[in-house]
Amino acid sequence: MALPKQSEDFPAWYQQVVKGAELAENSLARGSMVIRPYGYAIWEAIQAGVDRRIKATGHSNVYFPLLIPQSLLDKEADHVEGFAPQVAVVTHGGGSKLEEPLIIRPTSETIIWSTYAKWIQSYRDLPLLLNQWANVVRWEMRTRLFLRTSEFLWQEGHTAHETAPEAIEEARMILMDVYRATVEEDFAIPVLTGRKSAAERFPGAIETLAIEAMMRDGKALQAGTSHYLGQNFAKAYDVQFLGREGKQEYPFATSWGVSTRLVGGLIMAHGDDKGLRLPPKLAPFQVVIVPIYRDDAKATVMEAVYRIKQSLGDVRVKIDDREEHRPGYKFNEWELRGVPIRLEIGPRDLEAGQVMAYRRDTGEKAPIALESLSSAIAEMLTDIQKSLFQSALDFRTEHTFSPGSYDELVDLLSSVAGFVQGGWCGSPECETKVKDRTKATIRVLPLDPADREGNCIVCGSAATELATWAQSY
RNA sequence: CGGGACGUAGCGUAGUUUGGUAGCGCAUCCGGCUGGGGGCCGGAAGGUCGUCGGUUCAAAUCCGGCCGUCCCGACCA
């Protein structure tokens, strides 16, 4: 199979990588996907890193139901307005029409906060720091595997706090210590962190924070969000606690999530014309061994191969011992599937006391002496993880611009050049003007804006902050 | 939901203009030779031509409805 070049047809490239690497495929219900073993293994590695960090910051996991009475959704005005068009509704069950329709959760604020009403009575019950791993359904008009599917897997954290500053700090901590840390350390993808403009905010949120990553076509992908919800949900679901001063008070909320969309980001941030390039921390197989032999050498080679796998200890090693494919076929296939290191082991190598090692990220191939293999592989995996991050960072730097005029801003955004930064006065009119002209949106605003950022690149009046615009997924 | 393209074996496709027994490549299965960058030879199996209806002696082919996929919009936490 010939993969289209990224530069020629990025969407076709993406789709064929997803299918060719056997990550996922479309399923029967519109917009839904089957995640295949290799794709799911990547998701499990992602989950492990996120879950570990969520727990390390004091949160516990819970599970709330998939089905939510429709009336619950209606209680928070912004929320219902934002989600109603995307909600799937169950109207029948047990062979008859339901008295009250049930919605399939598009997110769980409603069911969770209606339950928190029972759990939160006193300031001693706070903070309540819970998270769940779940599937949600949003009836999107246009879907793409991993990036936007009608059903997707995610984690959603829902916390309740005594004070606003505490909740705001929680939302920021999750953004920085869980999401940014996971994506930069595990995915080897640099992210911008910041606030969303009012237009891009989560329905029902007071502040939405996000991490944004650059894909190799210059578009931005929102890779994770963390919301400060204020007291909106507490009031909508009548959650009150008796405070330290003996008065009834409403708690302050956050919610935050990352989803299987991250797999799409992983593909598009690192992939090249040969396919996937997986960072070692998330790769289901960190090393693939392709044995090379004629019949007479088979026993010797395979015996060495198993011994070598043993010697690599904790490294996740796949031995591709399929008889039906020749080495060249396997090389291409594992490159498409993004395995960081390939070891070629044949009689010639064994005689020389070495193996051939191929690095997926750089395409370099060089021999490694058997006696130092274990440390060399460990070192190489570390180096690949670092070097993928560095090259993604370099790519982002090369594709980040600071235009001097509105016309230049429009040109850069229209040609999907990458991230485009400029002063913004904070007015929705200027934001809309750029969007109408170029389809690009403000992806992030600084977490802590400076006092002044020159003039608004759109209208020329005093800028209150530095905005980063981009085309986005 | 609007505009465009498409739907033929597991995958990719030819055939549709001009209606007349559905073909090719890859993959699969069997046998053999092979094996350091997508092997070769021989044999085999695999098809409600997306679906429903219409026109016709005859429909993959013409007409209509529906379903689905992809691209571009609208929408999108």
- Percent of chain A beyond pLDDT 70? 100
A344 CB below 7 A from strand B atoms: yes
Joined together, the tokens standing for residue A146 give: 């991993």
What are the contacts of A94-99 at 24+ separation with CB within 8 A?
Answer: none
Position A168 confidence tier, pLDDT thresholds 50, 70, 90: very high
CB atoms within 10 A of CB A205: 26
A436 CB below 7 A from strand B atoms: no
CA distance A377 to A35: 30
Position A142 confidence tier, pLDDT thresholds 50, 70, 90: confident
Mean pLDDT of A160-186: 97
Position A169 confidence tier, pLDDT thresholds 50, 70, 90: very high
A31 CB below 7 A from strand B atoms: yes
Nucleotide nearest to A12 (CA to C1'): B70
Burial of A190 (0-12, 13-18, 19+ CB in 10 A): buried
Mean pLDDT of chain A: 93
In this predicted structure, the answer to whether residue A172 has a pLDDT above a threshold of 70 is: yes
Mean pLDDT of A130-146: 90
Per the CB < 8 A criterion, the answer to whether A266 and A42 are in contact is yes
Choice among A30-44, A327-341, A346-360 with the minimum mean pLDDT: A30-44
CA distance A370 to A312: 11
pLDDT value of position A27: 79
CA distance A460 to A405: 9
Residues 6+ apart with CB under 8 A from A117: A237, A238, A239
Joined together, the tokens standing for residue A269 give: 């941030």
Amino acid at A196: K
Taking the CA of residue A28 and the C1' sugar atom of nucleotide B49, their distance in angstroms comes to 21
Q: Report which of residues A21 and A176 the model is more confident about.
A: A176
Q: Report which of residues A7 and A187 the model is more confident about.
A: A187
Q: Which nucleotides of B are covered by protein (CB under 7 A)?
A: 1, 28-29, 34-39, 67-77
Taking the CA of residue A292 and the C1' sugar atom of nucleotide B7, their distance in angstroms comes to 42
In this predicted structure, the answer to whether residue A295 has a pLDDT above a threshold of 80 is: no
Taking the CA of residue A31 and the C1' sugar atom of nucleotide B55, their distance in angstroms comes to 36
- State yes or no: ipTM above 0.85: no
pLDDT value of position A7: 81
Query: Which stretch of DSSP H or E encloses residue A67?
Result: strand A67-69
Q: Domains of chain A, with CATH numbers?
A: 10-270 (3.30.930.10), 287-383 (3.40.50.800), 400-470 (3.30.110.30)
A287-291/A317-319 β-pairing: parallel
pLDDT value of position A2: 65
A145 CB below 7 A from strand B atoms: yes
A86 CB below 7 A from strand B atoms: yes
The per-residue pLDDT for range A378-405, each reduced to its tens digit, is 999 999 999 999 999 999 999 999 999 9
CA distance A316 to A131: 29
In this predicted structure, the answer to whether residue A1 has a pLDDT above a threshold of 60 is: no
Mean pLDDT of A11-23: 86
